[in-house]
Structure 1
Amino acid sequence: MATPRFETIKAHIETQINQGDLRPGDRVPSENQLCEQFDVSRMTARRALQALTDDGLLIRTPGLGSFVAEQRPVASMMEVRNIADEVQQRGHRYRAEILKMENCPADEQQAWLLNVKPGTELFHSLIVHYEDDIPLQWEDRLVNPSMAPEYLHQDFSQRTPNAYLSQVAPLTEASHKIEAVLVDAQIASALDIDLMSPCLQISRRTWSAKGVVSLATLIHPGDRYCLGGHVKQ
């Protein structure tokens, strides 16, 4: 299968950044310029620029264009923590309920985010994490099999996917999206909340030195979890 055109543009710009041909603050070619250079539609050019922005390599300013970001993030300001450690550090008992461990084919969006071809078999897990028998987190995770080939054979009632993946594919980078959401009936039932209870959703993508490792959607009841931290530079 041929490489999608937007991936070709993305790789070209990323190479220029990594080689220093484009430096922090430099303006990258516009959508129109990329259309001309690569003979693609404006939608394809826009998708390439958006992918680079999502990866933290570009900053897009409406009316001005896209510019190389000051630095590529190694991790976001929010630390990637193991929920079992969080619970145990509070002096409480941790346990997990495994709802699903399966193979599933990557759709176009998942393939793009994990940098695999559409239709590639991914590993999929659904797990509910508990603190003292109170459901604290719904975890829906997709894993790139090439990064963790034994993922589906693990007993995640004994250690979390986070702990396992940190061992077999050590984290070098992560991106997060945090938002308030309402959940569907399945998730509400698993978390023992009603359908109108606000929840905190964290969408996380993680990388190792060899590429994208996993996509995870982590959902917490809003009255049972908060985010915080201290950053010093």
Structure 2
Amino acid sequence: MPQIEEAQPKYLQIAHYIRDQILRGDLRPGDEVPSERQLAADWKVSRPTAARSLEALSHQGLVEKRQGSGTYVRSLEVNRRARELYGRARQAGKIYTPGEYAVITSAGWLEAPDHVAEALGLVKDRRAVHRRRVTNNQDGPITLSTSWFAPDIGQRAPKLLEPERIQEGALLYVENMTGRQGSYAEDRMCAREATGEEAEDLQLAAGSAVLIVHHVVFDLQDRPLEFAEATYPPHRWAFEQGYPLT
């Protein structure tokens, strides 16, 4: 019979906590991360355990140790995916980090494509609310994404229909307006050539490769709450949680 997995080693729990802070944008490139001494005190672990957590982050390419100074976040081109965006929204009340901003290119009611209708469980009424956005930073566009919501959510969350940014992010806004809490999410990923529209929005050459993520959020009753399709340009890394091999 399968066995229940034990908790991750303490050093990995610490490393993943700091890694999530980096990916959310709470710790930014050039910021100093807590020292071995500070981590040992905060987490109530030994100094060798704290040191191993910083080594794990270094091996992952997220931080660098500067002799006689400390450990600092490296400059990385990272795709901030839904998990990090939601985490930042819940922690800071804002979905984007300083220097990032979204342009809503369209919003309102549309006939849902087949894959969206299937993900949201739409049968008779295929109309759904969509919000299409291009996220930018100081270097230009970094993500193209479209969120879709079922008709009942669109009726209870009117800001979804407006081409204005929602500071806390669409999902947190929907939770507040409907009382339905996001519980877990599932992602499907593939790579393909960008369409003409995607290449234009992301300022890519025609035929460039892009990463596509289909993301579905489920509520506490396992009902789909949001479907989102995100398109990421090449040469930016996406990070996943570490996992055991056995």
| TM-score grouping bracket, smaller chain normalisation | 0.5 to 0.7
Q: Which residue of 2 aligns with 1:170?
A: 181
Cα deviation for residue 185 of structure 1 reads: 1.1
Cα deviation for residue 204 of structure 1 reads: 0.7
Cα deviation for residue 147 of structure 1 reads: 3.4
Q: Which residue of 2 aligns with 1:161?
A: 170
- Structure-2 change in CA distance of 1:108 and 1:181 (3 Å): closer
Superposed CA offset, 1:13-72 (max 9, x none): xxxxxxxxxxx9xxxxxxxxxxxxxxxxxxxxxxxxxxxxxxxxxxxxxxxxxxxxxxxx
- 2:182 partner SS: coil
Percent sequence identity is: 15
Q: Which residue of 1 aligns with 2:195?
A: 184
The CA RMSD measured in Å over matched residues stands at 3.3
One of 102, 106, 124 as aligned partner of 1:96: 102
Q: Which residue of 2 aligns with 1:45?
A: none
Distance in 1 of aligned mates of 2:86 and 2:140: 13
Q: Which residue of 1 aligns with 2:111?
A: 105
Cα deviation for residue 198 of structure 1 reads: 1.7
**C-alpha contact 1:84 1:94 (8 A) present in aligned 2:** no
Superposed CA offset, 1:96-139 (max 9, x none): 10100010133554333212223332101110111225211101
- 2:122 partner SS: coil
- Structure-2 change in CA distance of 1:224 and 1:92 (3 Å): farther
Q: How does the TM-score come out when normalised to structure 2?
A: 0.53
Q: Which residue of 1 aligns with 2:120?
A: 114
Q: How does the TM-score come out when normalised to structure 1?
A: 0.56
Matched residues, number: 156
**C-alpha contact 2:106 2:163 (8 A) present in aligned 1:** no
Q: Which residue of 2 aligns with 1:200?
A: 211
Distance in 1 of aligned mates of 2:183 and 2:209: 32
- Structure-2 change in CA distance of 1:162 and 1:130 (3 Å): farther
Cα deviation for residue 217 of structure 1 reads: 0.6
Distance in 2 of aligned mates of 1:84 and 1:94: 16
**C-alpha contact 2:102 2:133 (8 A) present in aligned 1:** yes
**1:194 alignment partner AA:** A
**2:112 alignment partner AA:** A
Q: Which runs of 5+ in 2 are unaligned?
A: 3-80
**1:212 alignment partner AA:** P
Distance in 2 of aligned mates of 1:121 and 1:115: 12
Q: Which runs of 5+ in 1 are unaligned?
A: 1-23, 25-77
